[in-house]
A and B are shown apart, each in its own frame.
Chain A
Amino acid sequence: MSEPEQNAVVVFLLVYSGRPDPSWPLDEGGIGNVAARHADVRGRALRVPTPPARLGYRGFRIENRPRVDRLPPVLLVGGGVVVEATEKGDSEAWADVAGLESWLLDEARSRGHDQLLREAGAPVRPDEPQPA
């Protein structure tokens, strides 16, 4: 974990099992983008089951370390689903109708993870089925 990420909103690209996943901090613009899409998802999407765990690309985890008001402490995004952990220890999942995963995939590609995503089985677009 690099020092700038210690007290930032951090995105983890969930691809590895053993070694640590790639991560990067979100800037103000990125935080605003995620917050808007998250609010949109909560406002109009149906609740759906959490996607099953698997090896390879699974999506993203967004850790809100500074506890920015507009975001929950942790968001999981992947498989076309947005999952938010609740304070009761449960989780709630919504269909990603706001394109949050698609935006995060573009972010990851812009940071040089394009080949890693392809080799890990990430979809070109999140609404495409992942390889078996």
Chain B
Amino acid sequence: MNWLQQLVDAFVRWVRRCIPAYDPQNWNDNDGIQFNNNCYNYACAIRTNTFAQPGRATGNMYPLPIDCPGVDAGARSDGLRAIDCDRGCGCRECCHQVALVVAPAGGEFNDFHWYRLGPDGRWSHKPGGTQATNLDNSGHVITDPRTADRGAYTVFCGCYCVCEGRVTIN
């Protein structure tokens, strides 16, 4: 391996140091950690044990019914930064990428959900108080949450960066 390749690899490792790996063992305890941390906790990689809600930590809880603008405002208030999904978070800060989807109002089922991008380019998520997984509703590995089987969460809202020391959730 030549020095240029080594330099590139070192740079990639340096950028990826900020991206949380898929770590279901840290969440799936069939007990308090799993039950009290939801998709927003998992996506932000922050355990609060409070079933965190976008905007609650910063006094801007999303309103009901749940829609993209409402959750977006709450998430931005908590410190998440909206980005183009195809451009990523860059490497100026220590950040990882997450994505927001919504099950739209219209009936009884109305909710939000978050995914997070891992260092291997694949996505994972944690459906509520159940286990974290890297599979979609069809059992496929998630390479892009825009095209994954999301069940009733049919509205794709957008992507965000979660940057170290800049996000507060509760």
Q: Please report A residues at the B interface, Cβ cutoff 8 Å.
A: 12, 14-21, 50, 52-56, 58, 61, 63, 74, 76, 83, 85, 89, 91, 113, 115-116, 119-121, 132
Report, nearest first, the 7 A-B pairs whose CB atoms are least far apart.
A119-B109, A18-B112, A116-B108, A85-B30, A55-B151, A53-B133, A17-B113
CB distance from B78 to the nearest CB of A (A): 13
With an 8 A cutoff between CB atoms, is B141 at the interface?
Answer: no
Q: Let me know if B112 and A116 touch, CB within 8 A.
A: no
- Given A85-B30, A119-B108: A53 touches B39 (CB 8 Å cut-off): no
Asked whether A116 and B109 contact (CB < 8 A) given A56-B152, A58-B127, the answer is yes
Candidate in A12, A17, A50 with the most chain B CB atoms within 10 angstroms: A17
How many A-B pairs with Cβ below 8 Å? 99
- 22 contacts across the A-B interface (CB closer than 8 A): A15-B128, A17-B111, A17-B113, A18-B39, A18-B40, A18-B71, A18-B111, A20-B51, A52-B133, A53-B132, A55-B151, A61-B35, A83-B30, A85-B31, A89-B31, A116-B107, A116-B108, A119-B152, A120-B109, A120-B152, A132-B137, A132-B149
**Which residue of chain B has the shortest Cβ distance to A84 in the bound complex?**
B30
Give A50's nearest chain B residue, CB to CB: B131
Residues in B neighbouring A52, C-beta threshold 8 A: 133, 135, 139
B103 to chain A, nearest CB (A): 8
| Interface secondary structure of A, over-half rule | loop
Q: Is the CB–CB distance between A56 and B151 below 8 Å?
A: yes
Distance from A91 Cβ to chain B, minimum over Cβ atoms (Å): 5
Hey, which bits of chain B sit against chain A, CB under 8 A? 29-31, 35, 38-40, 51, 53-54, 66, 71, 107-109, 111-114, 125-133, 135, 137-139, 149-153
**Provided the pairs A18-B40, A56-B152 are in contact, do residues A12 and B129 lie with their beta carbons within 8 angstroms?**
yes
Q: Are A55 and B30 in contact (CB under 8 A)?
A: no
B153 to chain A: which residues have CB within 8 Å? 17, 55
Contact B130 A58 (CB under 8 A): yes
Residue in contact with B131 in the complex, picked from A17, A53, A55, A85, CB distance below 8 Å: A53
In the docked arrangement, what's the CA distance between A55 and B112, Å? 11
Whole-angstrom CA separation of A119 from B106 in the bound complex: 10
Assembly CA distance A54 to B136 (angstroms): 7
Known contacts being A19-B66, A19-B112, A53-B133, is A121 close to B152, with CB within 8 Å? yes
The CA-CA distance from A85 to B31 in the complex, in Å, is: 7
Note all chain B residues with C-beta closer than 8 A to A113. 108
Residues A119 and B137 in contact in the complex (CB < 8 Å), given A17-B127, A83-B30? no
